[in-house]
Amino acid sequence: METPNTDRQSTAAETTDESPHAETTDESPHAETTDARWVRLRALVRIWVVVYEFLPLVVTYLRDRRRFLLVGGRRQVTVDQQTARAERLLDSLVSLGPTFIKLGQVLSTRPDALPGAYIDVLSRLQDQVPPDDWQEVSTVVEADLGPVGDVFEDFDTDPISGASLGQVYTARIDGEKVAVKVLRPNIRPRVEADLRVIQILLPLLLASAPEGQAYTLSNLAREFTETIREEMDYAHEAAMLREIRGNFAGDDVVVIPRVYDSHSSSRVLTMQYVDGIKIDDVAALDAAGIDRTALIRRLESAYIQMIIEDGVFHADPHPGNLAVRPDGSVVFYDFGMTGQVSEALQNHILDFYIGIAQDDIDAVIDAFVAMDALDPSADRELMREVFDIAIESFRGKDLDDYRIQRLVGEFQANIYEFPLRLPQNVALIVRVTTVLDGVAQTLDPEFDVIALITEYVREEGYGEEGARRVVESVSNQIQASAQSLVRVPPKLDRALSRTERQNLNAAIVLAGGRDEPYETLARQLVYGLLFGTGVVTTLLLLATTGDSVSVVAGVGTAVVGLLFVRSFRRRGGLGVTPQFTRQGLRQRRRE
């Protein structure tokens, strides 16, 4: 939902009693169950409308892969061509109505699903649906709460805000001004019919998409279905609003409106009206004497708390959903889109923050892999450069245009094969980060969000925690290595004995010349035996004598150990063919 473009913004509030009308509606939270046949009939009609709208784009996409559909090579597509197609897609989504407008908004946050040119165009997509007539909207309010005149002291029938799924009005309860968010009449069966169309057409889309992109689109369709159904359930929004408000209880720089449960249901949400200056209205903020740098720090810190500490966050921080009070406190509107973060994901995000704070790009990449947001087989050098540029941009540094263009071209050429795999909540966090960066650039172009993250990591002592984890990991590896060195010589001796008795069979692929593999194997065996024996001997000398002899033995063992390690780094030697590579699994699946 988009809030009004004036200072008359509003939103929600604190709990009172349980609503006596919460269950009076004849709709379930997820569908208009009273007219399932109408949903099926609408889906049959809509499928032809949707196919008609998208067919030209689909044919164009297929021709990109096969110039003449059935034969011919790939066509090269320029950025300008992609932009033109994205504009056509934007028009189609708007003409198809609320469900597809929401779908376009979700797609605009998913660089793993669409090329960058599409993301840039779809990011302009806003709710462009004219408001419903009050006579139709009033039937929803009266069905759930009772006669409007009896429930509210006063009710302004002109909406102050409208979106594809609902509209917001102002009213009064016991003399207090409130905001009333009402779900559009009959929107649930319309959305359910469109979701059924998407489910019918999805297999056709997946069949023509590359394997990596098909995986992403399949997950995206499922997540979109869950998200839009939650947005149509105002009882769920009220619960999220109450939880997040409770997490900021006592915090006077973050304002979360309270909910009036007695005047709310699954289709009507009544909240405290809180006005403020729109957060991107720089002139009004300056006139009010608001410190813009302190304001963006306050906003970013609130999101760090929501994501890292609380585990639930407001996921739609565009300027229409954020306002500023005269005292500089930040007001959050519209909790229809929220995200939840598990403890495991919080730890991974914290590792990501620690990697940023310590300027450790490899740790940042490892955190993304751990979050299932990056395929482990992705080109690490490419991803290292991608993250390096991203972090520099968040630091507010000037970037080399040629470097960015080269990297973007290389990245987009590879993005559909494997790299990004954004689970729903990770995608929401990426969306939040991107939108907040836009807000920060508006308020203070010099703001360094990386410095804020670094400060947070250090203040909370997470930097030491990260170092402690590294020390523990290295210690465990050393301990495991020492145990292996004690066990390896006896095991190796048994293996050699079995070889001597001709009882040892090994299937290997020779990767060098005719004699080179055997020479390399012999060298590695000798070095391994000498190194293992040297470690045991050094430890015994240290335990029994402790004199210079043990030092000499230790130095000699270290030298042999270096030679042992180096023998594995040389080119050639023995090679094996992995049986469970991604390509191998694909081949087996095709066979």
| pLDDT the model gives residue 265 | 95
- Per DSSP, the residues of 340-397 read E--HHHHHHHHHHHHHHHTT-HHHHHHHHHHTTSB-TTS-HHHHHHHHHHHHHHHTT-
- Per DSSP, the residues of 126-171 read ----PPPPHHHHHHHHHHHH--HHHH-SEEEEEEEEE-SSEEEEEE
Within a domain: 354: yes
Within a domain: 430: yes
Within a domain: 147: no
Number of residues that make up the chain: 591
Tally of structural domains, the chain:
3
186: left (phi over 0), alpha (psi -120 to 50) or beta: left
Within a domain: 163: no
Residue 55 CA: distances (Å) to CA of 106, 464, 554 = 21, 56, 73
Within a domain: 498: no
Residues 393 and 305 grouped into a single domain? yes
Q: d(Cα 386, Cα 179) in Å, to the nearest integer?
A: 44
3-class state of residue 282 by DSSP: helix
Is this prediction's pTM over 0.85?
no
Residues 450 and 544 grouped into a single domain? no
| pLDDT the model gives residue 408 | 47
Residues 281 and 345 grouped into a single domain? yes
- Nearest 5°: the CA angle 208, 212, 216 is 90
Instruction: Please provide residue 407's backbone torsions phi and psi, each rounded to the nearest 5 degrees.
Output: -70, -40
Within a domain: 448: yes
**Helices and strands of the chain, counted as H and E runs:** 21, 12
Residues 217 and 281 grouped into a single domain? no
| pLDDT the model gives residue 485 | 54
Residues pairing with 420 in the sheet:
374
Within a domain: 349: yes
Residues 361 and 420 grouped into a single domain? yes
Within a domain: 170: no
Are the C-beta atoms of 205 and 161 separated by less than 8 Å?
A: no
Q: d(Cα 273, Cα 286) in Å, to the nearest integer?
A: 24
Residues 197 and 300 grouped into a single domain? no
Instruction: Please provide residue 110's backbone torsions phi and psi, each rounded to the nearest 5 degrees.
Output: -120, 85
Residues 347 and 425 grouped into a single domain? yes
Domain that holds residue 528: 524-567
* Domain final residue pick, 418, 441, 460: 460
| pLDDT the model gives residue 493 | 59
| pLDDT the model gives residue 29 | 44
Other C-beta atoms within 10 Å of 36: how many? 12
Residues 98 and 206 grouped into a single domain? yes
Residues 103 and 198 grouped into a single domain? yes
> How many angstroms from the chain centroid is the CA of residue 572?
42
Per-residue pLDDT tens, the chain, 591 aa: give them: 444 443 434 433 333 333 334 333 444 444 444 467 777 888 888 888 888 888 888 888 777 776 666 666 777 778 888 888 889 998 898 888 888 988 888 887 776 677 778 888 887 776 667 788 999 999 999 999 999 999 999 999 999 887 788 999 999 999 999 999 999 998 999 999 999 999 888 888 777 776 666 767 777 888 889 889 989 999 999 999 999 999 999 888 999 999 999 999 999 999 999 999 999 899 999 999 999 999 999 999 999 999 999 999 998 888 888 999 999 999 999 998 898 999 999 999 888 888 888 888 888 888 888 888 777 777 778 778 777 777 776 665 554 544 444 444 444 444 444 445 667 778 788 778 878 888 888 898 888 888 888 888 888 776 555 445 544 544 555 555 555 555 555 655 565 555 555 555 555 454 445 455 556 766 777 777 777 777 767 666 666 665 666 666 677 777 777 777 777 665 444 444 444 344 444 454 455
Residues 328 and 448 grouped into a single domain? yes
Residues 298 and 405 grouped into a single domain? yes
Residues 204 and 294 grouped into a single domain? no
Residue 236 CA: distances (Å) to CA of 50, 143, 265, 268, 337 = 30, 19, 10, 11, 10
